Structure 1
Amino acid sequence: MEEIIIRPFEETDAEWIVERHATLYAEAEGFDGSFGPLVAGLVADYIDHADPVRERAWIAEQDGRRIGSIFCCHGKARDTAKLRLFLIVPEARGQGLGHRLLDQCMSFAREAGYRRMELWTHESHRAACALYQKFGWRLTEARPVRSFGVDLIEQAWEIELQ
């Protein structure tokens, strides 16, 4: 098995990101068909509007196969970055890849001058939430919602970078 590499996102990765998010979330969480189009919109917006100085995205690969993704996008405030589309395929979990991707994203955000980061997720993503907590992220909001055809606890997390 080859070493895992993390490389910059390319437009040709878009279809994989949308398909993997839609399929894996349907299998693991029971998400309906509305989730894939949401992911497609986020990826298309990144492709069409990303500021290369302040926004970046990465793909993890092993043996020539994509196995993960993470995006650093601008948030609502000028000094805030938003972590998006963080995904590791099940067969690649448990190798420290989540740590590497999160570190890559947060390091870039610091270098780009962001003072803080935020993200939105669901309570059911326990491994990711544990990783955020390990990195010093703070849970700022949790509320029950009905999204993507299922009942979820939606969460907002943030971290000060400076």
Structure 2
Amino acid sequence: MTPDQAPSTNKPAATVKYRPHRPGDLGMIVHRHGALYLEEYGWEDPGFEGLVAQIAGDFLCNHDPAREQCWIAERAEDGKFVGSIMLVRDPDVGDGAKLRVFLVEPWARGLGAGKTLLRLCIDFARDKGYGRIRLRTEGRLEVARGLYKREGFRVIGKDKQAFSFEYESEIWELVL
């Protein structure tokens, strides 16, 4: 990492490694989504964590390893969880895939883990012959939205999502 690429904070440098999921990882993904969205956005509704748990459970029980994947980023020095991303077939779009459970821990932001996870997902989708990737995100997730835009995703729609609060969800798509 060159000085002009270094994070703007005084975080210690970390080496991040990437791997496919293994037993226990999906539970960590559910836990960290619930805890992090509470800490950063005040999302106390158990429905959000339940949604992430449903996505994780569906993946564990039904995923096709030849066409779907979940990656984990972890600190090389000690295996500490850094982040996650998942690509699954989109049953609503014939040649499409969905990007799910994308998360990078706050302490690891600025290390390039988000960009690498997203590119792993895009490269895998291309390799497997998907024609497009769709995702949902929320307007306050500015860093993630910027990353999606830089990688070529575009907003194709908006709708309302409701837990114990309502927010506008953005639907983004990358044509491969």
* Residue matched to 1:22: 34
* Residue matched to 1:81: 97
Q: TM-score, normalised by structure 1?
A: 0.94
Residue 148 to residue 28, structure 1, CA distance change in 2 (3 Å): farther
* Residue matched to 1:147: 162
Q: TM-score, normalised by structure 2?
A: 0.87
Give 5+ residue unaligned stretches, structure 1.
none
* Kept in 2: contact 1:4–1:60 (CA 8 A): yes
Work out the CA distance in 1 between the residues paired with 2:171 and 2:146: 14
Amino acid at match of 2:30: V
- Structure of greater Rg: 2
* Kept in 2: contact 1:124–1:153 (CA 8 A): no
Work out the CA distance in 1 between the residues paired with 2:102 and 2:161: 21
CA RMSD after TM alignment: 1.2
Work out the CA distance in 2 between the residues paired with 1:146 and 1:112: 30
> Following TM superposition, by how much is the alpha carbon of 1:2 offset from its aligned partner in structure 2, in angstroms?
4.8
Runs of 4+ aligned residues of structure 1 deviating over 3 Å after TM superposition are none
How many residue pairs align between the two structures?
A: 160
* Residue matched to 2:63: 50
2:133 maps to 1:120 = no
Work out the CA distance in 2 between the residues paired with 1:69 and 1:112: 20
Work out the CA distance in 2 between the residues paired with 1:58 and 1:43: 12
Amino acid at match of 2:55: L
Percent sequence identity is 39
Counterpart of 2:149 (choices 126, 129, 133) is 133
Amino acid at match of 2:47: S
2:19 maps to 1:3 = no
